[in-house]
Chain A
Amino acid sequence: EAGVTQSPTHLIKTRGQQVTLRCSPISGHTSVYWYQQALGLGLQFLLWYDEGEERNRGNFPPRFSGRQFPNYSSELNVNALELEDSALYLCASSPGSYTEAFFGQGTRLTVV
């Protein structure tokens, strides 16, 4: 069974640009979570989508946004990139709200 897949794996962007990261959940999983992990720091919760709706978001500015499609895949959009947005962006999926989540391998974003 395929795990959570994220694309691209690596990305280099210039400050001020916009970026879109993509995530395909495990088949049958309806919840998708996005996390940011800056170098040497812990996982910071960004967004939670379930059944196509945004259910919760972490303490990030509005330039971080996303959506979930009818097939439960998801996109994370970051506008007006700043240097401190450089991080590993992780997507996870779960079959429901109160269960463990399974992570993808992440997208390494570097902003220069």
Chain B
Amino acid sequence: GDSVTQMEGPVTLSEEAFLTINCTYTATGYPSLFWYVQYPGEGLQLLLKATKADDKGSNKGFEATYRKETTSFHLEKGSVQVSDSAVYFCALTGGSYIPTFGRGTSLIVHP
């Protein structure tokens, strides 16, 4: 079946540092890929997505590129802020009704 593997957290950074959160996947066919963000006490919300190979999703300074050759969708941001502290989930949807989520990576940004 489909699966998503994310790097374990927490990831702890200082403000203005560069962020990478790794995500790799296993799926049949050509899935769509997503990053969701969950702020404390809230539900998940879509951060960005990519629906085909080599697509780059971007939002709020975050970027991720759909790499079919390495089955990866790593999340990056050039300069993180304290307000980016949250849990980040990588996910995929294929041909079924059920999406597959990674376990989430906690990001803590210190001033």
Chains A and B form a bound pair: no
Could you list which residues of chain B lie within 8 angstroms of chain A, going by C-beta atoms? none
Could you list which residues of chain A lie within 8 angstroms of chain B, going by C-beta atoms? none
